[in-house]
Structure 1
Amino acid sequence: MSDSPAPPPPSRLRLGVFLVLLSATGFAAKGILAKLAYAEGVGASTVLDMRMLSVLPVYLGGLLWFGRKGTLARPGLRDPDFWKIVLLGLLGFDFSALLDFEGLLRIGAGLERLVLFLYPTFVVFLSGLLGRRGIHLREVLASLLAYGGLAIVAGGKVTADPDLRTGMLLVLGSAIFYAVYLVGVERLVRRVDPLYLTSLVMVVATAALLLQSFASGHFHPETADRTALLLIGAMGIFSTALPTFFMTVGISIIGSSRAALLSFFGPVVTLAMAGVFLGERVTFAEGIGALLIMGGVGWVAAEGKKGSFRGGR
Structure 2
Amino acid sequence: MGPLLVLLSATCFGAMAVLGKLAYEEGVPPTTLVLLRFVIAALVLGGAVAVAARMGRPALPARPGGERRRLALTALALGCVGYAAQASFYFAALERIDAALVALVLYTFPVMVTVASVLLGRDRLTPPRVAALVAATCGTALVLVGAGGLAFHAAGVGLAFAAAVTYTGYILVGDSTVQRVPPLTLTALVMTGAAVTLAVRALLTGGLDVDIRPVGWLWIGCIALVSTVVASTAFFAGLHRTGPSTASILSTFEPVATVVLAAVVLGERLSPVQAVGGALVLSSVLLVQLRRRTPLPPGDAPGVPTGARR
Work out whether the TM-score is over 0.5: yes
Deviation larger for 298-307 or 210-219: 298-307
Name the residue aligned to 2:210.
221
Name the residue aligned to 1:127.
117
Q: Does 1:47 align with 2:47?
A: no
- Would you say how many aligned residue pairs link Structure 1 and Structure 2? 292
The alpha carbon displacement at 1:119 in A equals 3.0
Residues 46, 218 of structure 1: 8 Å contact kept: no
Deviations 1:32-53 (A, max 9, x none): 1112222333332121012112
In structure 1, the gaps of 5 or more residues are 1-13
The alpha carbon displacement at 1:86 in A equals 2.7
In structure 2, what is the Cα distance between the partners aligned to 1:185 and 1:111? Answer: 26
Deviations 1:232-288 (A, max 9, x none): 111111111122222222322343344345435433321111123334334445555
In structure 2, the gaps of 5 or more residues are 301-305
TM-score normalised by the chain length of structure 2: 0.74
CA RMSD of aligned residues (A): 3.9
Deviations 1:103-137 (A, max 9, x none): 456534x7666655443222112223434345678
SS in 2 for 1:29: helix
Q: Does 1:173 align with 2:162?
A: yes
The alpha carbon displacement at 1:62 in A equals 4.2
Name the residue aligned to 2:303.
none
Residues 17, 259 of structure 1: 8 Å contact kept: yes
- Distance change (3 Å), C-alpha of 1:236 and 1:45: same
Residues 39, 195 of structure 2: 8 Å contact kept: yes
Name the residue aligned to 2:74.
84
Counterpart selection for 1:232 from 173, 195, 220? 220
In structure 2, what is the Cα distance between the partners aligned to 1:264 and 1:90? Answer: 24
Residues 92, 178 of structure 1: 8 Å contact kept: yes
Deviations 1:7-35 (A, max 9, x none): xxxxxxx3x44433332221111111112
- Distance change (3 Å), C-alpha of 1:56 and 1:206: same
Query: Share of identical aligned residues, percent?
Result: 32
The alpha carbon displacement at 1:289 in A equals 5.6
- Distance change (3 Å), C-alpha of 1:78 and 1:115: same
TM-score normalised by the chain length of structure 1: 0.73
Residues 14, 255 of structure 2: 8 Å contact kept: yes
Residues 86, 201 of structure 1: 8 Å contact kept: yes
